[in-house]
Amino acid sequence: MSDYRYLTFALGKGRLANKTMELFEEIGITCEEMKDKNSRKLIFVNEELKLRFFLSKGPDVPTYVEYGAADIGIVGRDTILEENRNVYEMLDLGYGKCRMCVCGPASARELLLHHERIRVASKYPNIARDYFYDKKHQTVDIIKLNGSVELGPLVELSDVIVDIVETGSTLKENGLEVLEEVCPLSARMIVNPVSMQMETERIKDLVNRLRGRLSS
């Protein structure tokens, strides 16, 4: 083990990282340092297994992995699709399940049917563009927002939104609904292509152990 180089993991901050560390613990990968919630440390190490972990904003995870600053990343499929980085998607971890949807008031349903030039607000402009231009062949104006996207149709910034729907309660409480489903989402493991070549055995072993745990 001591001859190994460190394998570095980038984890999307928050619930996803907590779920990931719970899953890793189940296959014997622990990181005690990470459990100290008062710590301001940014990088956590398991010396014995030669593993390093760091937390970052979700959208930065594919960037760290593409450049090889992290060998492996754990992030939502929404971020992978939006960032479109040169990384391998290795495993569906199954948690963080939700859907990317086109949402709006019921009255906007008509606008989608007739391929009108509508305004679409989203935190995910690339996903919205791919969906409307490539899949639906509908020309739309896309407006990038950074959060609370449901406001778009409420204040008449946009006709519809493209956003994540989990329980549907944000939509419901604001008089909006799912109009179309773009794609299902969940947490994924991504790997740097060079790391995959250099550390094939270690990464494959990790993927197999995780896959075994997830299917049991």
- Interface ranges with ligand PRP (CB under 6 A): 123, 147-150, 163-170
Q: Are 159 and 104 in contact (CB under 8 A)?
A: yes
Residue nearest to ligand PRP (CB): 147
Instruction: Quote the least distance from Cβ 90 to ligand PRP, whole Å.
Output: 25
Instruction: Quote the least distance from Cβ 3 to ligand PRP, whole Å.
Output: 42
| Type of residue found at 17 | A
Instruction: Quote the least distance from Cβ 20 to ligand PRP, whole Å.
Output: 17
| Cβ nearer to ligand PRP, comparing 13 with 211 | 13
Reading across the β-sheet that carries 88-92, which strands appear in turn?
A: 43-46, 51-56, 7-12, 72-76, 187-191, 88-92
Instruction: Quote the least distance from Cβ 65 to ligand PRP, whole Å.
Output: 22
Reading across the β-sheet that carries 98-104, which strands appear in turn?
A: 141-144, 119-122, 160-165, 98-104, 177-185
User: What is the number of other CB atoms lying within 10 angstroms of the CB of residue 215?
Assistant: 7
| Cβ nearer to ligand PRP, comparing 75 with 210 | 75
Burial status of residue 79 (CB atoms within 10 A of its CB: 0-12, 13-18, 19 or more): buried
| Cβ nearer to ligand PRP, comparing 150 with 159 | 150
| Cβ nearer to ligand PRP, comparing 126 with 170 | 170
Instruction: Quote the least distance from Cβ 166 to ligand PRP, whole Å.
Output: 3
| Cβ nearer to ligand PRP, comparing 70 with 164 | 164
| Cβ nearer to ligand PRP, comparing 8 with 79 | 79
Instruction: Quote the least distance from Cβ 106 to ligand PRP, whole Å.
Output: 17
Residue with tokens 């290795």: 90
Cα 149 to Cα 136: distance, rounded to the nearest angstrom: 22
Burial status of residue 96 (CB atoms within 10 A of its CB: 0-12, 13-18, 19 or more): buried
Q: What share of the chain is helix, strand, coil (3-state, %, to 5)?
A: 40, 30, 35
Q: Are 81 and 127 in contact (CB under 8 A)?
A: yes
